[in-house]
Structure 1
Amino acid sequence: IENVFSQAGFPRGTFQTMMVKGNMIARLIARGEVKAVSFTGSSETGKKVAAESGRHMKKFVLELGGSDPFIVLKDADLEVAAREAVRARFLNAGQSCTAAKRIIVDESVAKEFTGTFLERTRELKVDDPTSPETDMGPLVSEQQMNKIQRQIDETLSMGAEALLDGGPREGNGFFFMPTVLTNIRESDPVMQEETFGPVAPIITFKDEEEAVNLANNTKFGLGASVWSDDRDRFMNLISNIQAGFITINQVVEEDPRLPFGGFKESGMGRMLYRIGMQEFMQLKSLKIY
């Protein structure tokens, strides 16, 4: 990115890449040259960045964690929804803040949806991420691999069932095979925590009110996707979902034509579009008589 800025003709130093330790962040924020702060990362670290920015009266934007719901209504195209759910959940091995981390399906179509979802998931090739034939690469670290395994183990101990029991793969690298869980409860770790890895919990609902309650029962509120062919139904649903970015019949992906950001512990402020630009502007009012 730094090279792109330079090639575009920006003055030297406009964009700088700095590899610093966490204890340097407060010192950087405090510097007079820094007028505003943008942070992408965990909610815990985001709170610290917000506190430091506030201490020095500097504007800030936070894009933090997410536990996006993937809601499938009974009138959805189930083949398409299941295919896209696999992509939404397992892209980048599930290591994305906007990944579909909770799959919420109408109980009347859950069996059909789950069958197709499992079939598609089993087709995923887990291997070298630089290979064009690979669908899913490794996790970022052993620590993250252990955290995902802990979340799965605790959820299974609370009564969940593994339809596809993945787990760490033997050999080099932090590869974690896709895992699909059912018989999920709202209080399970995979529903209440951000699962930054390839584990897909599937939970069912009886009516749309329950679907909304399931979607909102989280401390996060980054994105959500709703799958339905009934406009009145999905419009009524999305008006009650607590998320900053909602898609219909499409996985959640940032779009520079729209502001992006979350509710609750998923962040503050917005990035992208003109609203995102205004986050880093100081407005000045002028009256001439």
Structure 2
Amino acid sequence: MKIQNYVQGSWVDGDGVEYTAVNAINGDVIGEVSSAGLDYEGILDYARKVGSPALRKMTFQERGRMLKSLALHLIGRKDKFYEISAKTGATKIDSWIDIEGGIGNLFANASLRRQFPDLPYYVDGVAAPLSKGGTFIGHHIMVPRKGVAIHINAFNFPIWGMLEKIAVNLMAGVPAVVKPSEITSFLTEAMVREIISSGILPEGALQLVSGFGRGIIDHANHNDVITFTGSAATGKKLKGLPHISERSIAFNLEADSLNACVLGEDAVPGTPEFDIFIKEALKEITIKCGQKCTAIRRIIVPEKLVDEVQNALYAKLSKTVIGDPNLEGVRMGSLVSRHQMERVKQNVELLLEEQELVFGDVNNVEITGGSKEKGAFFSPILMRNDHPFEKTRVHDIEAFGPVSTVLPYKTMEEAIELVEMGKGSLVTSIVTADDKIAREFVTEAAHINGRILVLNERCAKESTGHGSPMPLLTHGGPGRAGGGEEMGGKRGILHYLHRTAIQGHPETITRITEQFQVGADQPEANPHVFRQHFEELRVGDTVFTHKHTVTTTDIVNFANVSGDNFYAHMDETSLEGTLFERRVAHGYFLLSKAAGLFVDPKKGPVLLNYGIDECRFVKPVYPGTTIGVRFTVKEKIDQEKRSEEDVAKGIVKFLVDMYDDEGETVGMATILTMVKKLDQSQ
């Protein structure tokens, strides 16, 4: 069987055989892999010329809906991937993290469309006034790069590693070429086949290189983004290639790291936190057979609790059933290959020259099912290092398997120093019920970590755990961890966009951004904006309302209704030394009165008002002041129908500009409304 590549719109074989993929449980051959002979210049060019234009034409809303459709399609076919995943040595839980965790990234990124405009590009921040008269302003837009995302992934998460990355670049409007590890590329290939056959992505949006991929980044240019997940040594070698810096190519490196978990001094045996700590450390040793870039390699505990932690972990590890993940009761599978098994063994032997082995055997492991001779089974290894400041290999050498070391500390300062000796981590956890300890640790250790998990009884039941990067949070870390960032919710999407400053008249900037800018034209809406359907509204259209003169009676009545009897509104004798000359109208009265002025009360296309953004009261309003409102269409965001019966609608943001009889703004807010479409078939 050939494990194929999907490039330039076709499934193709590479020349010869670069690697033979085998079942990690029994050694059976799965298929031959090769990408030799592929035209990498043509592959990248295909992504730029075919995939990129199609994605860039789509709005963020359309891209988000595309990701959601893909996620729903894949989750409905998830079972077919579990059987294949078991051949990588993964248990059902391991596979769940990879398969459904990966699909979860699609759902999470699809939901981010609500934070973006209904445009193919993003309007960043707020306008900058650049002139006294207000006729010249500046702003920023962020547009999709006219390039390709080249993802070089590790062997441990064949599906999650791909989906967590492409979810972000597709949402940004950038196509991808994915190069998984050849060792587990058979599982990635199965997922890509399902994605391509679904027809949900535009052609050229996703290509797959299953083999070694030698030369895949040689033709990258300044518009492209390269991401690498794997060993720090390989990643830094690739990042250091001359053409990467010469062409100013964005390169995100996420490397394995010597992550730690710290037990707080308060979490003694008998406390819930001690049990939580042991459970978390055990999980990170055994899940995915320890083959996670986020796995706990250093178990840092108070000196007085070393024996208790060691004994508790020994008892748990002794009960862990290892073997064929298809069999009932098996809790830990195998490493992905015998080659990887030998690499782990070599690094454990180096660590054992300085440390004491307290559980496991580097040469033997008892298994249930599978093959000792042909499979890649490896015993969990727990070591102890009583002198971690002198015997420092534990801070330098990573055995990428079910391997961890218990280290003692005397003070929290020492614990933080031990964490720092790892020279940069993706994640560190601290288990403590004492929030003072948590604060000290987080603030002092944050600089050397990409993520910190604070775990205790209050959050343990719902915690996603030490080893689980989340799509809405940054994944990456400084130093040894590569210095890069992935995911991060909206931040991750912005990584694939290019920011450009734009300058001009507010009306011009309004038409470019499709967001109303103060100083732009405000043609009077006819009919009233509340009488117009979503498609009929135009950004900038404005209702100039009737006016109202504020009275003392207004202030008193609003205080009675709202219960807001703040002295500035109700007691003129208390105003000395304040900002106010006289009793002042409530800001929320002004906003309420503004609504009374701008609302057209008759039934029409406006379905509801569901929120207020950016509300500010900037000038006091005293009795006798006359106020009016300029009510302007600020931005429109399309929405999809949830079902055939659903009402076709969109979100319209209106700028509420409240001004006084001097023409000066006294308050400003943005209200969000849901507006019916004229065309109900959309």
TM-score above 0.5: yes
Post-superposition offset of 1:22: 5.0
Match 1:201 to one of 380, 405, 424:
405
Residues 14-25 of structure 1: matches in 2 within 5 Å? 14-25=205-216
Report what 1:252 is aligned to. 467
Report the residue type matching 2:403 in the other structure: V
| 2:261 is the counterpart of 1:70 | yes
Is contact 1:269–1:279 with CA below 8 Å preserved after alignment?
no
Is contact 2:382–2:403 with CA below 8 Å preserved after alignment?
yes
**Bigger RCO (CA 8 Å, 6+ sep):** 1
Post-superposition offset of 1:132: 5.3
Name the SS of the counterpart of 1:150 in structure 2. Answer: helix
1:50-85 deviation digits (Å, cap 9, x = unpaired): 234323221121111111011111222111210111
Report what 2:332 is aligned to. 136
Residues 78-157 of structure 1: matches in 2 within 5 Å? 78-131=274-327, 133-157=329-353
CA distance in structure 1 between the aligned counterparts of 2:417 and 2:316, rounded to whole angstroms: 28
Match 1:211 to one of 402, 415, 419:
415
Match 2:232 to one of 43, 52, 56:
43
1:208-246 deviation digits (Å, cap 9, x = unpaired): 000001111023321111110111111111212211111
CA distance in structure 2 between the aligned counterparts of 1:150 and 1:269, rounded to whole angstroms: 28
- The alignment-based identity, stated in percent, is 25
Distance verdict in 2 for CA 1:18–1:132, change over 3 Å: farther
Report the residue type matching 2:399 in the other structure: T
Is contact 2:222–2:249 with CA below 8 Å preserved after alignment?
no
Distance verdict in 2 for CA 1:188–1:132, change over 3 Å: farther
The more displaced of 51-60 and 88-97 is 51-60
Is contact 1:65–1:220 with CA below 8 Å preserved after alignment?
no
1:150-209 deviation digits (Å, cap 9, x = unpaired): 333233333x22211322434331211111111344334333212201122101111100
Report what 1:226 is aligned to. 430
Post-superposition offset of 1:127: 0.5
| 2:204 is the counterpart of 1:13 | yes
CA distance in structure 2 between the aligned counterparts of 1:10 and 1:227, rounded to whole angstroms: 43
The more displaced of 269-278 and 52-61 is 52-61
Distance verdict in 2 for CA 1:6–1:257, change over 3 Å: farther
Tell me how many residue pairs correspond in the alignment.
286
Post-superposition offset of 1:8: 6.9
TM-score computed with the length of structure 1 as normaliser: 0.90
Report the residue type matching 1:83 in the other structure: K
CA distance in structure 2 between the aligned counterparts of 1:152 and 1:35, rounded to whole angstroms: 39
Report what 1:171 is aligned to. 373
Root-mean-square deviation (CA, aligned residues, Å) is 2.1
The more displaced of 72-81 and 200-209 is 72-81
Unaligned runs of 5+ in 2: 1-190, 268-272, 366-371, 456-464, 506-682
1:89-134 deviation digits (Å, cap 9, x = unpaired): 2211111100001111111222222221111111111101344532
Name the SS of the counterpart of 1:287 in structure 2. Answer: strand
Report the residue type matching 2:374 in the other structure: N
1:26-57 deviation digits (Å, cap 9, x = unpaired): 32xx2459611111111112113323432322
| 2:494 is the counterpart of 1:278 | yes
Report the residue type matching 2:323 in the other structure: D
The more displaced of 103-112 and 7-16 is 7-16
TM-score computed with the length of structure 2 as normaliser: 0.40
Report what 2:560 is aligned to. none
CA distance in structure 1 between the aligned counterparts of 2:498 and 2:359, rounded to whole angstroms: 52
Is contact 1:152–1:190 with CA below 8 Å preserved after alignment?
no
